Structure 1
Amino acid sequence: MTREDFLFVLAFILMVEGYLAETVFPALLGMLVILYLYGVRNAVSFSIEGERVPPAERLEEGKWHTAKLHLRNLGGDVFVKPEVRGQDFDVEGLEPFFLPSGGEKTFEYRFRPLGKGRFVLEPVRIIAEDSRGLYVEEFLIGPTVDVSVYPSVESIKEAARVEYNLRLAEVYKRGQLFGAEGLDIKDLREYQHGDDFKRIDWKASVRLGELIVREFIKEESADVYIFLDNTREMRKGLRMAKIDYAAVLALQVAANLVKRYRVGLVVYDEVSADIVSAGKGPTQLETIRRRLDLRGEGGKMSLRFGFEPSFGERTREFLRKVLPLRKGRRGSKGIFEALSLLKNPSFVILITDLSNPTETYRAVAMALKSHRVLILSPNPVLFYGGELDERTLRRLYDAYEERERLLKKFNALVPTIDLGPSDYIKELARVV
């Protein structure tokens, strides 16, 4: 209840009291209060104009940024209280102040994005109150602005302190995934699951009585491209979306590799893809970082990992002929367009939750004709953030078993690493 409402109620009570008590004095007092309010309301004039100047640069997660606010009072004397709505930012420096009639004031305030992604910077809400504190009016200063917030260096350093996934180190420790292979043989070793049968040295295998494969000396001339899945399932999550984790993981992978390799980034969704061409050095890392302004959108994950019924090759060939496809695309999903952006043989690090296994499997199989592929897969089961009752636990267990079968199928095709929210690559460059 405002002060004006309180005085109106008081005046009404006084008039009722005068009527019931059959005395004039309370009623007259109530009438005087109403006349006072009427006179004050006619004398009050609210008119606030102004401009807000937000930062020109793109915003960085967790870093304070400064905006300017200029106000002009075209009405009567007022007390001004500025506010910024929204839960995506911390705000400092917005304190109430007195603004006389005809006065102007320019001041700065600070705001800090609480996450990364794309956000809306709302207009500044100005609450103007007359000098007696009876009347209030609101004004909105500045337009609504869409801003991009990219990951901070601090978040990468924090992630680096987390113990990295031991399974990743096991996969990388032999250096099998990076560096193009030349013709010179480096060593012979025992056959391991997943090795290409073309590597088998049959003469050595017959001599030693077990399967032996050849390892070749590597050349570090091919580019590394990090493929980041930004489809809707990756953006889902009640507490932490997989895309939030994946963006940090992608940046950390790039930070570890960009000194030794030419590293690029490809971000794709359901229908399209965007590429940051491969390059080396700190400038390239900054370019990649600025592209990772991705944001989760909330919602429950589907937790389904089954393959869809697949068509035969002849059927797919027929569909490719009769269905119109976007220029440059080799399939019906963004991941196929992403692959079409690579012009030379490269090393592809695919970060995806495998929520669309049929298309992903077909795309990876296609990519293997020209590229080498590693899959880093955030496990949706491990990212579940809802309530845990008996029914939910059963559903999560069934989803876990289904995903294990899916991982086996993908691992038979390319190395596929299952990741949880606390798994980050700490020292990738030292083990590749």
Structure 2
Amino acid sequence: MKLLKSLYLNNRIFIAIGAIVICFIASFIIDDLIIIPQALFFLFLGLVITDMLLLYRTRRGLAGSRIMADKLSNGDDNEINITLQNSYPFQVKLRIIDEIPHQFQRRDVNFYIDLGAGAQKQFHYYLRPVKRGEYSFGALNVFVSSPLGLLARRFRFSQDKLVPVYPSYLQMRKYELLAISNKLTETGIKKIRRIGHNMEFELIKEYVAGDDYRTINWKATARRRHLMVNHYQDERSQQVYSLIDKGRVMKMPFEGLSLLDYAINASLVISNIAIKKSDKAGILTFQDKIATHVPASRSNNQMGNILEVLYNQKTAYREADFSVVYNFVRRKITQRSLLLLYTNFESVYSMQRQLPYLLNLSRHHLLVVIFFENTEMKSFVEQPAADLRRVYHKAIAEKFIYERKLIVKELTRHGIQALLTTPQNLTVNTINKYLELKSRGLI
């Protein structure tokens, strides 16, 4: 039974059977030709038996595996590697079908390659998940055909692997490396000129080549009889909280990824950047009540805690209650902090309903309200109108776009920092805002 389960027929065998059947039909018309289809039939049986012996004579003719990370990064292209080793003494033709999770809704993950005798080959493809959660991979199916190409033998590798999809840790690592090497400007992040002298004294040390001569401590130099300089460090240990709205307005999808997932990915990156910049990072998620709270810290395991908390975030499609957020922040976050509020306002009226709570938050903390441009509506407006109905639709779309700009002006007028961004540029623009506020000494 195992042999029959792994045995498959190629198209070539059906073509051969069809040709033999045609020859038998022709032999009924011409009696002298009966010997030809009979000879072809026995030759065909011999080739089928030979092909089967070639494929099954070697017990483990092919070795293979699917190599991938223990977890996938949401919203990113994750590399999936496939390695194959041919143990047959002849070249084989391979058809590879990978059973990827149903969440991807793809039916095109199959490949055709030739593999020489004793050769090994590795290739890869990419998967981009757009939802967090557990993804179940099936088997890696490889159909092996000999040079005769009549039959195929199926091998199965790396069966039933469960892989979690976490918030975008690949994006987090990318910006972490850029922040450490001071190359954030290469990805479009602005270099902000520091205004004033927002530095705090750390120690006095001996002068070495390259030190700023303006920091020479003349009194210490006179006492020690050689140059001494003051060493300063940036003000540190400021608290940076990401406040994530999980209400129904955050379920709108752009490029397959919901606004909630964009906010979660950006929160993970900005938290990591803040810790690398010697600040403390924390998380607060809410709907009609507070869902999760990770107190601000810069301990070694803080990013692990934040990653696990963000992985489990879901929405119940409820309206967000900003009064609950204000009461919780007043009770739990006593130190002045930078609050990055990820939400979405569809109209000026929806913002004005929450404005009293936003004003109260901004009195005790530095509040930045981050909300989103509708990129699909913007692209719709840019298309020419072909008829009167489309003109009306464009006018309504332009009204919605204009209201987003009015929201920014209204928040700015009340002294609240506002950031209107496209979902795709959320992470970069949030980092820019954070660096700008630090350079201005506002946190």
Question: Do these two structures clear the TM 0.5 threshold for a shared fold by scoring above it?
Answer: yes
Report the equivalent of 1:351: 342
| 1:36 CA displacement | 4.2
Query: Which residue is 2:295 aligned to?
Result: 277
Paired residues of 2:292 and 2:309 also in contact (CA < 8 A):
no
Superposition pairs for residues 39-188 of structure 1, below 5 Å? Answer: 39=49, 57-59=70-72, 82-84=96-98, 118=132, 120=135, 122-131=137-146, 132-138=148-154, 140-141=156-157, 142-149=159-166, 150-152=168-170, 153-154=173-174, 157=178, 160-163=185-188
Q: Which has the higher helix share?
A: 2
Q: Which moved more, 1:50-59 or 1:236-245?
A: 50-59
- 1:8 is aligned to 17
Distance in 2 (alpha carbons) for counterparts of 1:242 and 1:419: 12
Judging changes above 3 Å, is the alpha-carbon distance between structure 1 residues 341 and 59 closer, same or farther for their aligned structure 2 residues?
Answer: farther
Q: Is the CA contact 1:272–1:338 (under 8 Å) kept in the aligned structure 2?
A: yes
1:399 alignment partner AA: F
Q: 1:14, CA displacement in angstroms?
A: 1.6
CA contact (8 A) 1:117 1:294 kept: no
Verify the 8 A CA contact 1:12 1:30 in the aligned structure 2. Answer: no
Q: 1:292 to 1:398 in 2, by over 3 A?
A: same
1:398 alignment counterpart: 399
C-alpha separation in 2, matches of 1:248 and 1:159:
17
Contact 1:333 1:359 in 2 (8 A): no
- Which structure's relative contact order is higher, taking Cα pairs within 8 Å and 6+ residues apart? 1
C-alpha displacement at 1:334, in angstroms? 7.7
SS of the counterpart of 1:354? coil
Q: Does 1:376 align with 2:370?
A: yes
Q: How big is the shift at 1:375?
A: 0.1
Q: Is 2:251 aligned against 1:250?
A: no
Alpha-carbon distance in 1 for matches of 2:269, 2:50: 63
Residue 332 of structure 1 and its aligned partner are, at CA, apart by 5.3
Q: Quick one: percent identity of the two aligned structures?
A: 13
Check conservation: 2:86, 2:115, Cα contact below 8 A.
no
Tell me how far 1:58 sits from its aligned partner: 3.4
Number of the residue aligned with 2:242: 226
The amino acid that maps onto 2:186 is: R
Aligned to 1:417: 419
Q: 2:279 — aligned with what?
A: 261
On the 8 A contact 1:165/1:419 being kept in 2, the answer is no
- State the TM-score, normalizing by the size of structure 2: 0.55
In 2 relative to 1, CA 71–25 (structure 1 residues): closer, same or farther, beyond 3 Å? closer
- TM-score norm. by structure 1 comes to 0.56
Specify the SS of the correspondent of 2:333. coil
Q: Structure 1 residues 285, 31: closer, same or farther in 2, change over 3 A?
A: closer
Name the amino acid aligned to 1:404: K
Which ranges in structure 2 are unaligned for 5 or more consecutive residues? 1-9, 197-234
The answer to whether the 8 Å contact 1:227/1:350 transfers is yes
Instruction: Check the 8 A contact 2:71/2:163 in 1, yes or no.
Output: no
Instruction: Determine the C-alpha separation between the residues in 2 that align with 1:383 and 1:78.
Output: 52
Could you tell me which residue of structure 2 aligns to residue 181 of structure 1?
Answer: none
Give 1:39 shift.
4.9
Match of 1:27 in 2: 37
C-alpha distance in 2 between matches for 1:108 and 1:42: 27
User: CA shift at 1:395, angstroms?
Assistant: 4.7
Instruction: Output the CA distance in 1 between the equivalents of 2:160 and 2:321.
Output: 34
